[in-house]
Structure 1
Amino acid sequence: MDLMQTLDVTNFLLILQMIPMIVMLWIGVIAAWGLIKHKRKKAGYIKKDQNNFGIIVCARNEETSISHLFDSIKGSDYPSDKIHVFLIADHCTDRTADIGRSYPFVTVLERQDGPQNGKGDVLKWALPRIFEIDKDKKLDAFAVFDADNVLKPDFLEKIDDKLRRGNRIVQGNRLGGQPYRSIVTKWYTLYWACYTIFFSYAREKVGLSAFLTGTGFAVDGDLLREVGWNTTTITEDVEFSLDNVLRGQRVSFCIKAVCYDEQPHQLGVMFKQLSRWCTGGYEVLKKDFKSFVFDHSRPVRKMQRVDAIMLLLMGPCSWISAIISYINNIIIWYKLPLLYFLPSAGFAAFSLIAMFVGVFLVAKYNHIPMRKIGILALLTFPLFLFFYMLCSIKTCFIPTRKWTRIEHEALDSSQD
């Protein structure tokens, strides 16, 4: 190709790249808007009395970690007479159920039949049984945790405050437990810190809906009794969030309600988890996209509808835009004079530096000591995002059909 032909190709690719970039631009604008916007003024209390919490824990062979969760619940600042735990021992072959029974505030429900496709199936099985036990409706709200979680003492107090102010679905601030164990856990720690600020907290401040992130969340009891848990995808948390957005609800985010969640520390396990997340994202996109785009009978605010559509498209649009950008940059770097190469290289360098600065500041905001994260984890964090993109591309064509359990260990400290 001569110079003019090369310019025509690169300009065409640039225009083509702008189409999926609209989605990424929206995500960036919401993040920036949320960062500069002042906190929303708190509304007056709608409910005076503290909520009675039913805490649901789905566990499969978690004897090494489950006691740390129960001990953190026991050590909570929240009144003990307003907490009752339901341990759903799902196809367990170890001492998980026995450990649960050793705690007086825990009711154990054992599930030995039915599909083993993840937490969605377990919750769908467990909730009718929990509602039958609580047929007098003494429990006002239900919180859901994973067996490897540890709660900060004021977690339930902060979630309760959100619920009493009229929020019916509240996601807590999920941070990585044992964050410095390996470079993989360090990547996850930085990822969740960024997700907290740029995604969840930004949407909370501008009045849009966040997503549930699988654990550390609570749902108003009456709402949960009304809608149940009828998810069908491999990412039941995102599906439940969007189903309720379509019903006119909003997932609120409480940055002060902190719980710690053990993260994978091996590359192979990381790829399995990321593939499951990406597969679930495509499943939810297929299930809900038409409803958000065409079904205007749904009680969804216009801006919330647009935001949901953009979030559904974020996965495929991110890698489509990236691939077009890579192709365009290769052509520029090899075919065009230095005059055209320098702006492209300069923009790439600026983007990387901006990302590093942003990640660093977000880590500081979440009180994550960068001396423990280390310069290597920070500099290689783009690799995590690259691997995430690879998983998104792969699962678009070869989805992860089977849910794979991640082995957990004792999480006895949130930051050590």
Structure 2
Amino acid sequence: MGDIIYTITAVFQIFVFVITCYYAILGLFGLHRKKEVKDYTPNNKFAMIVAAHNEEVVIGQLIESMQKQDYPKELFDIYIIADNCTDKTAEIARKYDGVTVCERVNKDNRGKGYALEWMFDKLFKMDKEYDAISIFDADNLVHTDFLKEINSKMNQGYKVVQGYIDSKNPDDSWIATSYSIAFWSQNRMFQLARNNVGLSNQIGGTGFAIATETLKELGWGATCLTEDLEFTCKLVLNGEKVGWAHDAKIYDEKPLGLKQSWVQRRRWMQGFTDVASRYCVKLFKKSIKERKWYIFDAGLYVLQPFATLLIGVAAVLTFIQSNFGANIFVINDLFNNIGFQVFALIQFIITPLVLILDKKITKGFFAMFVLFSSNIFIFPLVAKGGDELFVLGVNVAFYGGFLLATFFLLGKKALFFFFRFLLYGIYTLTWIPITIQGILRKNNKEWNPTKHVRNVEIYDV
């Protein structure tokens, strides 16, 4: 019986390890930015659309940032959808010159996807024509170069282009910092990496543009909880790739507390599960039939909730084996001690490396991370040579020493970020129960918008 358990867990663990390695190896291609030949000729006229529900706190700052685009003023218009609003969102938006406010009231079909579909239909019936439609969330701030960079990418032939989703409040709380680290990492190791190897990127929900002809041809029809993922799948199934504009930045407000974050991420996982059930098999079939890897890669991405769940199960099996010795195969068995430590070191260092490449941390801060990672080699040696109390004391001294060193050498702000970076591991682990909830609640379509309680201007980021 023991051999059977070992064999089954070996097959499972190696399968999960292969999936993890695929994403890790692909992510390495994002460490380098290819030189791009950019064409800033303003060939496209944009409709900039914001779906807003009770966003009186932030809508003004967003509009002001949109109006400051370094792009011909006659080639973009701003539309605000006041969707089932009961506050002053529409009133505030109307105070800005050149902004068109469209109020929508529909208590049955609630949510961003429905609001966008309603607005697209209105645009298509207008006498004024647009080459592309760009979409934003109400809590965003838009960099002055956004349209210029998106236009450049569309001049290369892309029908849909996603911009770089940055954070406008990375220092507000440990949750906001964790979100920011996750998005910064994804921008490099997911989006830029796929751009570099010729795969399709993914629409990120905000800060993207769609060619009007493509939207008319395919129809929006994306009204689930992750309308961005659903439309990405439709694009890929119709032979299109989503382009990536690394310099087209939008700044997104991240949740401050764990509860708010939990609800938002659970909604994402509900939407992922829903989309996976409807598109995954179609993507895999089409990829095999047409022998196109970018379609297969899109199918793998859709399976993200299940991949997260598998990684969680693998972690539990490893924990059981490490603490109870249940004759379970663990990935450590494939490496000698040094090999596994080097593998763990690379995994730890890769995120700070991404942050320094996009200038989110300083070189001194990165050096501190590299020194801190030496614990991967030190702690196993300490554990062999002392009792539990001694090992605990060394751990406390090591972590405390690095926090103090960070404070004295790099300052208070760096200390907070270093501490929150350590908490990022907890944020990552919460994805496992959140994913389980999302899978179980797949058919719950209720939309829970994030409440915004503070405003930030473009100059602040």
TM over 0.5: yes
1:76 to 43, 54, 69: 69
Q: Distance in 1 between matches of 2:176 and 2:161?
A: 25
Kindly indicate whether residue 346 of structure 2 is the aligned counterpart of residue 354 of structure 1: yes
Contact between 1:175 and 1:258, CA under 8 Å: does it hold in 2? yes
Partner of 1:382: 425
Contact between 1:141 and 1:221, CA under 8 Å: does it hold in 2? yes
Partner of 1:403: 447
How far does the alpha carbon of each residue in 1:277-314 deviate from its partner, in whole angstroms, 9 at most, with x for none?
1111111100101211234698x661112212211223
Alpha carbons of structure 1 residues 297 and 183: separation in structure 2 relative to 1, 3 Å: closer
How far does the alpha carbon of each residue in 1:1-46 deviate from its partner, in whole angstroms, 9 at most, with x for none?
xxxx65663443122222244333322232224436x627648x6x
Alpha carbons of structure 1 residues 293 and 78: separation in structure 2 relative to 1, 3 Å: same
Partner of 1:391: 434
Partner of 1:364: 356
Alpha carbons of structure 1 residues 238 and 194: separation in structure 2 relative to 1, 3 Å: same
2:84 to 86, 91, 105: 91
Greater shift after overlay, 256-265 or 15-24? 15-24
Q: Secondary structure at the match of 2:106?
A: coil
Q: CA deviation at 1:115?
A: 3.1
1:22 to 15, 18, 23: 18
Alpha carbons of structure 1 residues 332 and 347: separation in structure 2 relative to 1, 3 Å: farther
Alpha carbons of structure 1 residues 128 and 395: separation in structure 2 relative to 1, 3 Å: same
Alpha carbons of structure 1 residues 40 and 204: separation in structure 2 relative to 1, 3 Å: farther
Computing the radius of gyration from Cα coordinates, the structure with the larger value is 2
Q: CA deviation at 1:411?
A: 2.3
Matches within 5 A, 1:78-157: 78-133=71-126, 135-137=127-129, 139-157=130-148
Q: CA deviation at 1:74?
A: 1.6
Q: CA deviation at 1:226?
A: 2.1
Q: Distance in 1 between matches of 2:22 and 2:103?
A: 45
How far does the alpha carbon of each residue in 1:41-86 deviate from its partner, in whole angstroms, 9 at most, with x for none?
648x6x9543111100100111111111111112221121211011
Work out which structure has the larger RCO, using CA pairs closer than 8 Å and 6 or more positions apart in sequence.
1
2:198 to 196, 207, 212: 207
Q: Secondary structure at the match of 2:450?
A: coil
Q: Secondary structure at the match of 2:240?
A: coil
Q: CA deviation at 1:316?
A: 0.6
Q: CA deviation at 1:181?
A: 0.4
Partner of 2:213: 222
Alpha carbons of structure 1 residues 191 and 34: separation in structure 2 relative to 1, 3 Å: closer
Matches within 5 A, 1:8-407: 9-35=5-31, 39=34, 42=37, 49-133=42-126, 135-137=127-129, 139-295=130-286, 302-335=292-325, 353-369=345-361, 371-372=413-414, 374-399=417-442, 400-407=444-451
**TM-score, length basis structure 2:** 0.81
Contact between 2:287 and 2:293, CA under 8 Å: does it hold in 1? no
Q: Secondary structure at the match of 1:406?
A: coil
Q: Which amino acid aligns with 2:105?
A: Q
Q: CA deviation at 1:100?
A: 1.6
Q: Which runs of 5+ in 1 are unaligned?
A: none
Q: Secondary structure at the match of 1:108?
A: strand
Alpha carbons of structure 1 residues 156 and 13: separation in structure 2 relative to 1, 3 Å: same
Greater shift after overlay, 66-75 or 354-363? 354-363
Q: Which runs of 5+ in 2 are unaligned?
A: 366-412
The number of residues matched between the two structures is 404
Contact between 2:13 and 2:314, CA under 8 Å: does it hold in 1? yes
Alpha carbons of structure 1 residues 316 and 414: separation in structure 2 relative to 1, 3 Å: farther
Q: Distance in 2 between matches of 1:392 and 1:346?
A: 33
Partner of 2:400: none
Q: CA deviation at 1:191?
A: 0.4
Q: CA deviation at 1:336?
A: 7.7
Q: Which amino acid aligns with 1:131?
A: F
How far does the alpha carbon of each residue in 1:380-406 deviate from its partner, in whole angstroms, 9 at most, with x for none?
111111111221122222335311011
Q: Distance in 2 between matches of 1:214 and 1:353?
A: 33
Contact between 1:14 and 1:325, CA under 8 Å: does it hold in 2? no
**TM-score, length basis structure 1:** 0.89
Q: Distance in 2 between matches of 1:359 and 1:119?
A: 32
Q: Distance in 2 between matches of 1:186 and 1:19?
A: 32
Contact between 1:17 and 1:325, CA under 8 Å: does it hold in 2? no
Contact between 2:163 and 2:249, CA under 8 Å: does it hold in 1? yes
Contact between 2:170 and 2:176, CA under 8 Å: does it hold in 1? yes
Q: CA deviation at 1:334?
A: 2.5
Q: Which amino acid aligns with 1:395?
A: G
* Cα RMSD for the two superposed structures: 2.7
